[in-house]
Chains A and B, each alone.
Chain A
């Protein structure tokens, strides 16, 4: 990872978040073809191409320091963005171990973890943290284990307990979400949690996904991409704060659409946790403005076509109703009708 951190970027107020050309090049474009519908796009989360967002278990990119600061702002203002039911403590430690071990293995210049039995020493250089603690002893960390480690990772994290042939959403740190609330969903079963998603229930997507995840194996994580759109590069589009960001949807015009409208891609990873037998669900959010996106001509054409023909139920569910047509019109200037190659690569 050669990215240089941009610690002063913001995801609120003045919104100074931008992608460098290198970040645009590695953006996880979620559309392999010119139209979009749900598919079972789960694949093994094995190391991808060098420099890609899939190279490592948890991607650390140029936005790392700024995203961690944004997370701390949200957690400090709204502590209930971290949730962990009492029986999830072993799963919390599982998550801490998985994330620390992965970061230390994959980014040795930035992170290090040394262990002597249960005495662990963790160093996070980008955030300037140096922590000695006893694995399994919650009193030796400044926060609960999941809270502590998720403050040092990009993306939201949900931890599910497995029992009664179901997965229960019973812990997590969620501050960068596309309009859903962990505080509201905590304690729900897998299908209750996904209740609001249109069309997918009828397509039995969640029956298949649940069956698959109940059998998720240790050491064999999987991933998939999901997407929506957000006005401004705002990570925290939570229902709790809807009054602050909902109105942005009415501010998109043909003049500002390229800068205001962002494609929001979630790289979702799923890991079986060893001691708790729970499942960690990582939801890593990548943002890209339409103006940044069209610097890749194929992506400009494809985004225009996907958005223009998107199923009405999905337009509504993704919250695009107010500004979809404006963005489609803005994008039309970047679609010359030329054919696009299949797959997500720039060309």
Chain B
């Protein structure tokens, strides 16, 4: 996608729902309905700051059945490169933003016999919309939601009032934690598990599921990596004949875009593989931060995901 294909939205409401998460309500500037979507979808929010443009992915948490507005939850990241700080500090009711059409990289499996949803912290957001899709259907489901302490449990009241005892809460502050092995070893055949949250939670769930004998096709996870900061480096774009300087707090993709070269992308979080770029020459090392390339492909050093990955060394030449 590129910015020409974005939708103009206005911020209709902002609510601080936990100490770290703000809840934003967005509506089309023209007052019409926004595009329909499925639970698990995210949008890219384009934020035009004074000195740079941020493009961050956020899961849609509003009901797929009502399209007069979209809702997203934004957690303030401690080590922010600016996107979440921009949303928290600069965006106000009435602000205009641009968003891309929804993309779903974390869809519910439609032939599952049962769905087990596991959320950690702000990882609850895609499940809020998915629960709307599941509610009233014939397939059983349950939510396991883990947060540091009760004041961090975003959306809990809404979820509880609708879903009742399908919601299982775990508070770190009270020493509750999910019994992953117990949970994943007692599910009926045909169950699918979905996990969204911190990296540690995702690896616990996926590893436990695998050791309990779950097939890979029944294990789903989503984690958008914010592009990590790192050392400054330079990249040479062979087709464009341009040298791009990548500062510590900007991603390779953002730096390429700032130089006027478009890179195709969907998620900007190292998940979809859409921005995969060929590395033509490398004198140094790639710092792969994506979840798309296999370990073998990462070791080969022939491809990079410029949305989240970086490089160290003397020379990096890209096929762009």
Q: Does B38 contact A (CB under 8 A)?
A: yes
Is the CB–CB distance between B109 and A163 below 8 Å? yes
Complex Cα–Cα for A97 and B35 (A) = 12
Q: Out of A163, A217, A275, A277, name the residue touching B111 (CB < 8 Å).
A: A163
26 contacts between A and B (CB under 8 A): A87-B110, A88-B110, A97-B36, A162-B107, A163-B111, A163-B217, A164-B109, A164-B217, A211-B273, A215-B272, A215-B274, A217-B101, A217-B266, A218-B35, A218-B37, A218-B101, A219-B35, A219-B101, A220-B1, A220-B5, A274-B102, A276-B38, A276-B110, A277-B38, A277-B41, A277-B104
Is the CB–CB distance between A87 and B107 below 8 Å? no
Q: Mark B108-138, 1 if CB is under 8 A from A, else 0.
A: 0111000000000000000000000000000
Q: Which B residue sits closest to A88, measured CB to CB?
A: B110
Contacts of A164 in B (CB 8 A): 109, 217
Q: Which B residue sits closest to A93, measured CB to CB?
A: B36
Q: Does B279 contact A (CB under 8 A)?
A: no
Is the CB–CB distance between A274 and B107 below 8 Å? no
Contacts of A163 in B (CB 8 A): 107, 109-111, 217
Complex Cα–Cα for A161 and B37 (A) = 15
We find that the number of chain B residues with CB closer than 8 angstroms to chain A is 22
Complex Cα–Cα for A217 and B102 (A) = 8
Given contacts A274-B37, A276-B38, A277-B104, contact A219 B5 (CB under 8 A): yes
Q: Which of A25-61 contact B (CB under 8 A)?
A: none
Q: Does B103 contact A (CB under 8 A)?
A: yes
Is the CB–CB distance between B266 and A275 below 8 Å? no
Q: Out of A211, A215, A274, name the residue touching B266 (CB < 8 Å).
A: A215
Complex Cα–Cα for A41 and B93 (A) = 45
Q: Does B64 contact A (CB under 8 A)?
A: yes
Given contacts A164-B217, A215-B274, A218-B35, contact A87 B111 (CB under 8 A): yes
We find that the number of chain A residues with CB closer than 8 angstroms to chain B is 18
Q: Mark B157-200, 1 if CB is under 8 A from A, else 0.
A: 00000000000000000000000000000000000000000000
Query: How far, in Å, is B124 (CB) from chain A's closest CB?
Result: 20
Q: Which A residue sits closest to B102, measured CB to CB?
A: A218
Contacts of B217 in A (CB 8 A): 163-164
Complex Cα–Cα for A217 and B44 (A) = 13
Q: Which A residue sits closest to B215, measured CB to CB?
A: A164
Q: Which A residue sits closest to B192, measured CB to CB?
A: A163
Q: Which A residue sits closest to B1, measured CB to CB?
A: A217
Complex Cα–Cα for A211 and B36 (A) = 23
Report, nearest first, the 5 A-B pairs whose CB atoms are least far apart. Answer: A274-B36, A87-B110, A277-B38, A218-B101, A164-B217
Complex Cα–Cα for A162 and B106 (A) = 11
Q: Which of A211-250 contact B (CB under 8 A)?
A: 211, 215, 217-220
Q: Mark B208-231, 1 if CB is under 8 A from A, else 0.
A: 000000000100000000000000
Q: Which of A94-143 contact B (CB under 8 A)?
A: 94, 97
